[in-house]
Amino acid sequence: MTTSANIKVVGAGDTIKQLNKIDPMLRKKFNADVKEIAAPAVAAASKAYKFVPLSGMARNWQQGGNKKFPFDIAKAARGVKVKIDTSRRATASILIIQNDAGAAIFETAGRATSNRLGNSLGSIQAGRTRLIGPAVHSQKTEITRQVTQLVIKVQNDIQRLVK
Protein backbone atom coordinates (compact mmCIF):
# COMPACT_ATOMS: atom_id res chain seq x y z
CA MET A 1 0.00 0.00 0.00
CA THR A 2 1.41 3.37 -0.98
CA THR A 3 0.11 6.89 -0.62
CA SER A 4 0.90 9.71 -2.95
CA ALA A 5 0.56 13.39 -3.67
CA ASN A 6 0.86 14.64 -7.22
CA ILE A 7 1.16 17.80 -9.30
CA LYS A 8 -0.22 17.74 -12.84
CA VAL A 9 1.89 18.89 -15.80
CA VAL A 10 0.02 18.15 -19.02
CA GLY A 11 2.00 16.07 -21.51
CA ALA A 12 4.58 14.85 -19.04
CA GLY A 13 3.62 11.18 -19.35
CA ASP A 14 3.81 11.18 -23.14
CA THR A 15 7.09 13.07 -23.06
CA ILE A 16 8.62 10.57 -20.64
CA LYS A 17 7.45 7.63 -22.77
CA GLN A 18 8.89 9.15 -25.95
CA LEU A 19 12.10 9.96 -24.15
CA ASN A 20 12.57 6.34 -23.13
CA LYS A 21 12.01 5.18 -26.73
CA ILE A 22 14.45 7.68 -28.19
CA ASP A 23 17.29 7.51 -25.67
CA PRO A 24 17.12 5.54 -22.39
CA MET A 25 20.09 7.49 -21.01
CA LEU A 26 18.14 10.74 -21.40
CA ARG A 27 15.26 9.08 -19.55
CA LYS A 28 17.62 8.20 -16.68
CA LYS A 29 18.84 11.80 -16.59
CA PHE A 30 15.23 13.03 -16.60
CA ASN A 31 14.40 10.73 -13.68
CA ALA A 32 17.42 12.02 -11.75
CA ASP A 33 16.45 15.64 -12.48
CA VAL A 34 12.88 15.06 -11.27
CA LYS A 35 14.15 13.45 -8.07
CA GLU A 36 16.43 16.44 -7.52
CA ILE A 37 13.54 18.89 -8.09
CA ALA A 38 11.29 16.98 -5.68
CA ALA A 39 14.03 16.51 -3.06
CA PRO A 40 12.95 19.48 -0.87
CA ALA A 41 9.35 18.17 -0.70
CA VAL A 42 10.55 14.62 0.01
CA ALA A 43 12.83 15.93 2.77
CA ALA A 44 10.01 18.00 4.29
CA ALA A 45 7.66 15.00 4.24
CA SER A 46 10.34 12.76 5.76
CA LYS A 47 11.02 15.24 8.57
CA ALA A 48 7.30 15.38 9.41
CA TYR A 49 7.43 11.84 10.83
CA LYS A 50 8.38 12.61 14.44
CA PHE A 51 6.22 10.34 16.59
CA VAL A 52 4.16 7.15 16.61
CA PRO A 53 0.61 8.42 16.01
CA LEU A 54 -1.20 5.94 18.30
CA SER A 55 0.28 3.70 20.98
CA GLY A 56 -1.22 0.58 19.36
CA MET A 57 0.71 1.29 16.16
CA ALA A 58 3.93 0.41 18.00
CA ARG A 59 2.76 -3.22 18.26
CA ASN A 60 2.99 -5.97 15.65
CA TRP A 61 0.03 -6.24 13.32
CA GLN A 62 -0.38 -8.50 10.33
CA GLN A 63 -3.27 -8.65 7.93
CA GLY A 64 -3.57 -11.50 5.48
CA GLY A 65 0.01 -12.52 6.19
CA ASN A 66 1.34 -9.04 5.34
CA LYS A 67 3.13 -7.10 8.05
CA LYS A 68 1.50 -3.68 8.53
CA PHE A 69 2.89 -2.52 11.88
CA PRO A 70 4.82 -1.75 14.12
CA PHE A 71 5.06 1.86 12.98
CA ASP A 72 8.75 2.80 12.84
CA ILE A 73 9.55 6.50 12.55
CA ALA A 74 12.85 5.88 10.71
CA LYS A 75 11.21 3.48 8.23
CA ALA A 76 8.36 5.93 7.66
CA ALA A 77 10.85 8.72 6.91
CA ARG A 78 12.84 6.49 4.52
CA GLY A 79 9.62 5.37 2.80
CA VAL A 80 8.94 8.77 1.21
CA LYS A 81 10.16 8.55 -2.38
CA VAL A 82 9.63 9.97 -5.86
CA LYS A 83 8.08 7.59 -8.40
CA ILE A 84 7.85 8.13 -12.14
CA ASP A 85 5.01 6.05 -13.57
CA THR A 86 4.16 6.07 -17.28
CA SER A 87 1.75 3.13 -17.31
CA ARG A 88 -1.65 3.58 -18.97
CA ARG A 89 -3.49 3.13 -15.70
CA ALA A 90 -1.49 5.81 -13.90
CA THR A 91 -3.39 8.95 -12.96
CA ALA A 92 -0.14 10.88 -12.65
CA SER A 93 3.33 10.45 -14.11
CA ILE A 94 5.39 11.93 -11.28
CA LEU A 95 4.40 11.03 -7.73
CA ILE A 96 5.71 11.45 -4.23
CA ILE A 97 4.76 8.21 -2.48
CA GLN A 98 5.02 6.49 0.89
CA ASN A 99 6.30 2.91 0.56
CA ASP A 100 6.09 1.93 4.23
CA ALA A 101 2.78 0.13 4.89
CA GLY A 102 2.29 1.44 8.43
CA ALA A 103 2.98 5.03 7.41
CA ALA A 104 0.71 4.68 4.37
CA ILE A 105 -2.10 3.46 6.63
CA PHE A 106 -1.50 6.42 8.94
CA GLU A 107 -1.53 8.83 5.99
CA THR A 108 -4.83 7.64 4.53
CA ALA A 109 -6.93 6.08 7.31
CA GLY A 110 -10.42 7.56 7.30
CA ARG A 111 -9.91 9.46 4.05
CA ALA A 112 -12.54 7.72 1.94
CA THR A 113 -14.95 6.66 4.66
CA SER A 114 -15.23 7.31 8.34
CA ASN A 115 -13.79 4.52 10.50
CA ARG A 116 -12.48 4.06 14.03
CA LEU A 117 -8.80 4.23 13.11
CA GLY A 118 -9.30 7.35 11.01
CA ASN A 119 -11.36 9.00 13.74
CA SER A 120 -8.66 8.20 16.33
CA LEU A 121 -5.97 9.72 14.12
CA GLY A 122 -7.96 12.90 13.54
CA SER A 123 -9.94 14.36 10.70
CA ILE A 124 -8.57 14.48 7.18
CA GLN A 125 -9.86 16.11 4.02
CA ALA A 126 -11.12 13.81 1.28
CA GLY A 127 -8.36 13.06 -1.22
CA ARG A 128 -5.59 14.34 1.08
CA THR A 129 -2.96 12.74 3.26
CA ARG A 130 -1.93 13.72 6.77
CA LEU A 131 1.78 14.60 6.36
CA ILE A 132 2.91 14.08 2.76
CA GLY A 133 0.15 16.22 1.23
CA PRO A 134 0.84 19.35 3.29
CA ALA A 135 4.60 18.98 2.78
CA VAL A 136 4.20 18.70 -0.99
CA HIS A 137 1.53 21.40 -1.26
CA SER A 138 3.70 23.87 0.65
CA GLN A 139 6.24 23.62 -2.20
CA LYS A 140 3.77 22.99 -5.01
CA THR A 141 4.37 26.18 -7.01
CA GLU A 142 8.14 25.79 -7.11
CA ILE A 143 7.98 22.07 -7.98
CA THR A 144 5.39 22.73 -10.69
CA ARG A 145 7.47 25.52 -12.19
CA GLN A 146 10.68 23.47 -12.27
CA VAL A 147 9.01 20.29 -13.58
CA THR A 148 7.20 22.30 -16.28
CA GLN A 149 10.50 23.84 -17.37
CA LEU A 150 12.14 20.40 -17.40
CA VAL A 151 9.31 18.83 -19.45
CA ILE A 152 9.39 21.71 -21.98
CA LYS A 153 13.17 21.38 -22.27
CA VAL A 154 12.87 17.63 -22.81
CA GLN A 155 10.06 18.09 -25.35
CA ASN A 156 12.28 20.51 -27.30
CA ASP A 157 15.20 18.06 -27.10
CA ILE A 158 12.97 15.26 -28.42
CA GLN A 159 11.78 17.42 -31.31
CA ARG A 160 15.39 18.23 -32.23
CA LEU A 161 16.41 14.56 -32.08
CA VAL A 162 13.43 13.46 -34.22
CA LYS A 163 14.06 16.03 -36.98
**pLDDT tens digits for 129-154?**
888 888 888 888 998 899 889 888 88
pLDDT on residue 7: 46
Output 126 or 16, whichever has higher pLDDT. Answer: 16
H or E segment and range at residue 14 = helix 12-22
Coil, strand, or helix at residue 129? coil
**pLDDT tens digits for 76-120?**
999 999 988 877 776 677 788 899 988 988 888 877 778 788 778
Reported pTM: 0.78
Domain ranges of the chain: 3-162
Distances from the Cα of 65 to the Cαs of 61, 68, 69, 160, in angstroms? 9, 9, 12, 52
Contact yes or no for 50/106 (Cβ under 8 A): no
From 25, 27, 1, select the one nearest 93 (Cα to Cα).
Answer: 27
